[in-house]
Amino acid sequence: MDSFQAHPTPMGWELTELKSGQTVLRTLTKDEMLNELDHFMAGRTATVEVLNRSGAVEETRPYPGSHHQL
């Protein structure tokens, strides 16, 4: 199972693969990140930790199984 972290940056949001430390997705807003996660995680088994501005885990989203609601 892969592990990722979605976190805010000064310019928006980034999704980072924890194993490699590589940024795999960038968006301008948190809402865009959560929407894009559904597409990026399609067909993957992974866990995404969503961090807040202070670096604390706000929520953990398992894939498959998580979907962002507008």
Is the separation of the CB atoms in 10 and 29 below 8 Å?
Answer: no
The residue range of the domain holding 32 is 2-63
Position 34 confidence tier, pLDDT thresholds 50, 70, 90:
very high
- Give 70's pLDDT tier (boundaries 50, 70, 90): very low
Domain count, the chain: 1
Q: Is 69 inside any structural domain?
A: no
Mean pLDDT of 5-28: 96
Residues 6+ apart with CB under 8 A from 66: 37, 38, 41, 48
Burial 7-39 (b: 16+ CB within 10 A, else e): bbeeeebbbbeeeeeeeebebeebeebbbbbee
13 inside domain: yes
Any domain includes 68: no
**Domain assignment present for 70:** no
What pLDDT does 25 receive? 97
Q: What percent of the chain has pLDDT over 90?
A: 80
pLDDT score, position 66: 66
Query: For the whole model, what pTM was predicted?
Result: 0.87
Look at residue 24 and tell me if it is in a domain.
Answer: yes
